[in-house]
């Protein structure tokens, strides 16, 4: 057992607050950290060796730069031996206390105390050596861990009760979508369009932030209110109510697609398109066409989905005398949806033709903007290019494109999580299970509900668990257990 640094070395609390010490921790530069301990705490190599359960020559080599610390187990041992405070452990990329390690030794999963990976780690995962290196996987994993650029606390994963509530809320969609909701009585006061618009915007924001349980709790009532407003109001107010109803049903269909409910997703998408047509707004109609296309893809009607998206996008483009940024965003997003459908139909020329048109629209827009909740722009087009490449089985191309993406430029959490999962898919295709695992952990860190509640994500976790080499099997199984994925 290592000795405790408190018994051997007097480490002032101020050392763990120093900028140079924190920088050494973030860079995993243990040699520099040991030098600072010698300078400010009078720690000799012998005392450091005793505290960290190492030999003196090993400490000397680390301080001189001829040896490096690369494995998680050694980082944990050093952190424990030096009694690092929580913020220092986090800077090093570890859980804030040693309890998580003890639970792991006992094979007891910890829900809240593990070192979670931030999305920024993917930039390190996408180094060219991911595709070209001939090193064994354990070496890649050790180096990747050392190269991580920070850590954050793990967001709590949905509890079983949360999943039950979400299932109940999704079940309640059926009654509303089939128009036999108990809340059909005429209201005492006219519908408040401002309040409905605020609720729709909140649902859109929560969806894009991957707070799906929050969305599902409020959507049934919102759908009912928007439907009632369309039935009661007249004139311009009715047209506005229909636009809001189309958007609300669009969110409902998106949630149901993620939940894997094809029947209700179709019904919600159809309600969105009906309301859009009644709004008489071409941009709203084109926006709802996106969710119709998505619902068709979800039911594996890929050829029809690609044709629908392409035809409606062309009609939308032709009918407008000139695009503004909002219509251009919807037009480009519809093209991207069609490109993905074509890729899923294994239509490579069709996919890249639509993708090229979307790229042109993105260039005309000039930057990513979340107009009409599309998050469309040049970066978003690149994210879809990654998805299309991996769907067509071109893992190398997908990773090459992914390396050009700046995660900081992706401002919508849902899109960022999808990109991380597409990256994980590409790494699995390429046989780089370590990097697929780290990409999935990054996705879990920023969007836990995408991992725990989305069938496609759960299939990806299951694939990782089924194909991971023995060196990664334990981590993959722990990850799958946290996500609620079983064999």
Q: Are residues 179 and 270 in the same domain?
A: yes
The reported pLDDT for the residue numbered 335 is 98
User: Do 323 and 301 form a contact (C-beta atoms < 8 A)?
Assistant: no
Q: Are residues 108 and 12 in the same domain?
A: yes
Residue 136 lies in a domain: no
Q: Are residues 24 and 99 in the same domain?
A: yes
Q: Is the pLDDT of residue 155 over 90?
A: no
Q: Is the pLDDT of residue 165 over 80?
A: no
Residues spanned by the domain of 249: 173-278
Residue 186 lies in a domain: yes
Q: What is the overall mean pLDDT for the chain?
A: 82
| Rounded average pLDDT over 202-229 | 92
| Rounded average pLDDT over 20-31 | 89
Q: Is the pLDDT of residue 227 over 80?
A: yes
Q: Render the burial of 217-228: b for 16+ CB within 10 Å, e for the rest.
A: bebbebbbbbbb
The reported pLDDT for the residue numbered 139 is 45
User: Total structural domains in the chain?
Assistant: 2
Determine which of 144-148, 258-262, 480-484 has the lowest per-residue pLDDT on average: 144-148
Residue 212 lies in a domain: yes
Residue 129 lies in a domain: no
Q: Are residues 109 and 13 in the same domain?
A: yes
pLDDT tens figures, 308-339: 999 999 999 999 989 999 999 999 999 999 99
Q: Is the pLDDT of residue 186 over 90?
A: no
The reported pLDDT for the residue numbered 283 is 97
Pairwise pLDDT comparison (305 vs 100), residue with the higher score: 305
Residue 248 lies in a domain: yes
Q: Is the pLDDT of residue 101 over 70?
A: no
Which of these three, 66, 82, 113, is where a domain ends?
113
Residue 394 lies in a domain: no
Residue 434 lies in a domain: no
Q: Which two tokens stand for residue 449?
A: 């509900």
Which of these three, 113, 137, 160, is where a domain ends?
113
Which of these three, 73, 96, 113, is where a domain ends?
113
Instruction: Specify burial of residue 106 (Cβ count, 10 A radius: 0-12, 13-18, 19+).
Output: exposed
Residue 271 lies in a domain: yes
Q: Is the dihedral of CA 33, 35, 39, 45 positive or negative?
A: positive
Give the domain CATH number at 82.
1.10.260
The reported pLDDT for the residue numbered 70 is 79
Residue 282 CB neighbours (<10 A): 15
């Amino acid at each position: 057992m290592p000795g405790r640094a408190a018994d051997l070395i007097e480490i002032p609390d101020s050392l763990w607050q120093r900028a140079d010490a924190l920088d050494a921790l973030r860079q995993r530069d243990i040699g520099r950290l040991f030098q600072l301990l010698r300078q400010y705490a009078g720690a000799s190599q012998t005392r450091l060796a005793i505290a960290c359960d190492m030999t003196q020559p090993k400490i000397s080599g680390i301080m001189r730069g001829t040896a490096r610390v690369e494995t998680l187990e050694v980082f944990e041992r050093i952190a424990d031996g030096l009694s690092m405070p929580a913020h220092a452990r986090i800077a090093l990329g570890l859980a804030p206390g040693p309890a998580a390690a003890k639970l792991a030794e006992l094979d007891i999963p910890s829900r809240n105390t593990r070192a979670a990976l931030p999305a920024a780690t993917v930039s390190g995962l996408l180094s060219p050596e991911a595709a070209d290196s001939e090193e064994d996987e354990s070496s890649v994993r050790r180096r990747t861990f050392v190269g991580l650029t920070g850590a954050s606390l793990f967001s709590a994963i949905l509890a079983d009760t949360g999943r039950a509530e979400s299932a109940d809320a999704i079940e309640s969609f059926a009654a509303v979508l089939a128009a036999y909701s108990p809340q059909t009585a005429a209201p005492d006061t006219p519908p408040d369009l401002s309040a409905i618009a605020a609720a729709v915007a909140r649902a859109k924001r929560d969806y894009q932030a991957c707070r799906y349980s929050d969305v599902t709790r409020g959507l049934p009532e919102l759908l009912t209110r928007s439907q009632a407003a369309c039935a009661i109001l007249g004139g311009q107010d009715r047209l506005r109510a229909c636009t809001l109803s189309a958007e609300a049903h669009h969110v409902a269909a998106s949630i149901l697609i993620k939940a894997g409910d094809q029947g209700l997703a179709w019904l919600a998408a159809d309600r969105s398109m009906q309301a859009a047509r009644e709004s008489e707004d071409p941009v709203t109609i084109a926006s709802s066409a996106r969710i119709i296309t998505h619902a068709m893809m979800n039911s594996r009607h890929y050829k029809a989905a690609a044709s629908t998206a392409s035809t409606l996008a062309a009609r939308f483009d032709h009918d407008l005398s000139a695009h503004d940024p909002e219509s251009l965003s919807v037009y480009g997003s519809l093209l991207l949806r069609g490109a993905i459908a074509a890729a899923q139909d294994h239509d490579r020329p069709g996919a890249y033709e639509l993708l090229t048109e979307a790229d042109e629209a993105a260039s005309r827009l000039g930057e990513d903007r979340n107009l009409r909740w599309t998050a469309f722009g040049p970066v978003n087009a690149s994210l879809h290019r990654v998805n299309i490449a991996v769907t067509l089985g071109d893992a190398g191309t997908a990773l090459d494109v992914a390396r050009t993406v700046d995660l900081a430029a992706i401002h919508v959490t849902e899109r960022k999580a999808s990109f991380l999962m597409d990256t994980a898919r590409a790494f699995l295709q390429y046989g780089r299970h370590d990097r697929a695992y780290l990409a999935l952990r990054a996705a879990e860190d920023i969007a836990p509900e995408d991992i725990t509640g989305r069938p496609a994500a759960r299939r990806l976790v299951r694939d990782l668990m089924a194909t991971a080499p023995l060196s990664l099997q334990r981590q993959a199984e722990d990850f799958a257990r946290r996500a609620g994925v079983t064999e």
